[in-house]
Structure 1
Amino acid sequence: MRRRDFLKVAVAGGAGASLGGRIYPRAAWAQGPIKIGMPAALSGAYAQYGIQAKRAADLFARDVKAKGILGRPVEFIFEDTAGDPATAVRKAQKLVEKDGVKFLTGVALSSEALAVSAKCPEWKVIFMSTINGAGALTAKSFHRYFFRVNTSGPMGARAVSLYLAESPMKRFFALGSDYAWGRDSVASFTSQIMAAKKDIVATEFPPVGTKDFASYIAKIRQSRADGVYLVLPGQDATIYLKQAHQFGLNREVKPIMEILELENMKAVGDAMVGAIGSSRYPFTVDTPKNREFVKRFHELHGLYPDMFDGETYEGLEWLAQVIAKAGTDDVEKVIDAWEDSSYDGLEGPFFMRKCDHQAVQPGFAVECVKDPKYPHPIPKILATYPGEKVTPKCRTEEFS
């Protein structure tokens, strides 16, 4: 993967282009492209997230090739951050100051997102999160230029907790990576599980990038927990699940994932069957719009979309919708158009709260299962919760 990559939407033939029922003359294309910067982890341990964001951008670019946005071509500019916060800030600043982008997205880790987001009020650009889970982004670190289209970590913890409240399991061990997303999600899960009159027997926070989970697996086994709540990104989750299987732990203690990712299911295989968790976007959700999306995605990429393929596509489509609504790519006017707006998402209805720019959307509890129609395990939806039930109170990580 090159560290810098351009993907442009070509000009379509004909007298004009349309979006949202409007007709634009060729002169609109002469205004130049609408630029979207993606400082994404395209290499390193968390490249699967940046690659998902890029796959979504590839499909979105193909889908709007004939019409653009406001009749203007769309240009994605990618920069590889390798999952490092300092690099993410440097690459984002380059995208803003040198390339002239007004919109940033595709940032992978919450540690990167918190660092980049903090600079956006100074840069006067919109940061659209489609991946980042840290609750702080829409709570104590919230600002006008940040929008979160995706499900947050506390929202995922909420969906899992609602499902587990009806489960016979009583005792839980929490294992979260030692950074913002891991700690936020564990704190949220702990609060909600205890409110359901169940117990957290222990918590541990392994460093991001841990390769040997043997000591943690021993502690989990010794705790006699019924389930282990896991908040581990990318390869960390894959490594843990494989090692837990080798030690026979998965037969004794139920794996409960804050995000049950397709990438992990493919990497771990049958050893992951039976794990449960939340899914921010399960490709198996049965809506007409999602069925069409999955078909187009599979035709282009030859695989089924993972969580951040779906959520990034939704973000890009919604961004295009609000730019069209504003009638301009002026950042301040786009912000005003986005606040309190609705969107028909792949999973169902979305609503962007003005108070904290968190998208209210459905939440899902899922299980990893085998299905002969697919070459790998898939997420089976166990329960669906309305957005109002899984979204925190405004600018908090707390639930009513």
Structure 2
Amino acid sequence: MAHAPAGSPGAARAAAGPRIGLLTSKSGPGSLFAAATENMATLALEEINADGGVAGGPVELLAADDATDPATGVLEALRLVRSGCSTLFLMTTSATYAAVSAALADAGVLVVQSHMNEGGGENRLRIRLGERPAGQLAAAAAPMMRAAGGRRWFLAGNDYVWPREVNAAARVILPAVGARLVGERYAPLGTEDFTPIVEAIATSGADVVLNGFVGADAAGFERQCHAMGLRERTLSLGPAMDEVTLERVGAPAARGIHGVSGYFQQLATDRNGTLLQRYRAAFGPWAPPLSTLTESVFEALHMWAAAARRARTTDPARVADEMRVGRFEFPRGTVTLDGTDRVQQRLYLAEAHGAGFTPTSSADVAG
């Protein structure tokens, strides 16, 4: 089946049904995820429209690029709204989410961040789905220390809101389970040489590195850790480490890397098996791998459509109210929302093997 790419903002013709927007990072450090994100949005939209659409017509999706830059994200979000999108789905950095949320404060637009995030800033028209750092660390800390045979952790990441919130959660959760924190360092987005941080980790004697880097930076950091011999003495846990990033890391440097999330491509659920078959049939064997970041867009679009059908409207506030309460069966398993802006789901700790992850343990968490 041939698939046309999602539309771009500014089309002149009137939409037959509702328009929604997708803002993601097609360029910049976050661009690793763009192709799979758009693929999953396209697949979800086809399924939604094949099932009758929403509000009496097919849903149209317009996509835009924030270039991994909050200011660009605001301009593109405003352009999507001017093009008739009353709901925007963001698969971007938290910095872009915060900037867009503020810029659209009086616009009456529903903004949904589909993937893992640090939480905060929710209101009636702001929904943040996905995993939260506290839940991820609660699920992963003890088994990571057992695997490492030690309790010393080094916290490293990009110098922006999400990694800093990950490490803030780590400073609370890790000592409570017997961990010892031996260092903390940051680098700007787009860093290419992580030598000072890798050397600091080696000097600290850490057993586990909490990798709070994202996208291309996370891959570059892990490759440099491997090249400088750090993986011989430490394991790595990346809350945002997914299949797309791992593919960029490369098989030689993958040993010792772990991720923790609600979805991995190798999850053995019936719905995931069916999804993977549809994905490969639609986009071919060389399409980028799925991950919790990109699969979350597929889920969020289906949640929006189900909520709009229940509400019998696409009014952003009424749809948001419906989205916040419900139990959904997705490829990752059961996802429950109880109106508290926290997602109940099973989180998996998974170990990298080549370009994929094998889940090794799991826990049910909220948030």
TM over 0.5: yes
- Residue 258 of structure 1 corresponds to 239
Counterpart of 1:290 (choices 261, 264, 272) is 272
Query: Can you list the C-alpha shifts for 1:46-105, whole angstroms capped at 9, x where unaligned?
Result: 112333321111111222342222431111111111011111112111211x21211111
1:124 paired to 2:108: yes
Cα contact 2:7–2:61 (8 A) shared by 1: yes
Give me the whole-angstrom Cα distance separating, in 1, the residues matched to 2:349 and 2:333: 15
Distance, in Å, in 2 between the alignment partners of 1:386 and 1:190 is: 22
Superposed CA deviations along residues 187-215 of structure 1, whole A, max 9, x for unmatched, are: 11221110012101011111111110011
Structure 2 match to 1:100:
84
* Aligned with residue 171 of structure 2, among 190, 197, 200: 190
RMSD: 2.1
Flag structure 1 segments of 5+ consecutive residues without an equivalent: 9-29, 371-376, 392-400
Distance 1:363 1:252, change over 3 A: same
Equivalent position to 2:135, from 137, 140, 155: 155
Residue type of the alignment partner of 1:294: L
Match of 1:322 among 294, 297, 307: 307
Report the count of equivalent residues: 353
Which amino acid counterpart does residue 193 of structure 2 have in structure 1? D
1:59 aligns to 2:43 (yes or no): yes
CA distance in 2, matches of 1:311, 1:177: 22
1:344 and 1:196 map into 2 onto residues whose CA distance is: 32
In structure 2, the CA distance between the partners of 1:354 and 1:293, relative to structure 1 (3 Å rule), is same
Q: Does 1:77 pair with 2:62?
A: yes
**Which residue matches 1:45?**
29
Q: TM-score, normalised by structure 1?
A: 0.83
Q: 1:176-325 residue pairs with structure 2 within 5 A?
A: 176-270=157-251, 271-301=253-283, 302=285, 303=287, 304-325=289-310
Instruction: For 1:243 and 1:165, locate their aligned partners in 2 and report how far apart those are by CA, in whole Å.
Output: 23
Task: Determine helix, strand or coil for the equivalent of 2:350.
Answer: strand
The more displaced of 198-207 and 264-273 is 264-273
CA distance in 2, matches of 1:369, 1:328: 46
When normalised by structure 2's length, the TM-score is: 0.90
Q: Which residue of 2 aligns with 1:34?
A: 18
Q: Write the distance in 1 (CA, Å) between the matches of 2:63 and 2:40.
A: 13
Residue of structure 1 in register with 2:96 after alignment: 112
Greater shift in the superposed pair: 265-274 or 34-43: 265-274
Greater alpha carbon shift after TM alignment, 312-321 vs 154-163? 154-163
Amino acid at match of 1:142: E
Q: 1:200, 1:193 → 2: CA distance?
A: 8
Q: Is the 8 A contact 2:116 2:129 kept in 1?
A: no
- More relative contact order, 1 or 2 (CA 8 Å, 6+ apart): 2
Partner SS state of residue 91, structure 2: coil
1:146-171 CA-partner distances (Å, limit 9, x unpaired): 11222123332332224336553210
Distance 1:266 1:49 in 2: 11
User: Percent of pairs identical after alignment?
Assistant: 24
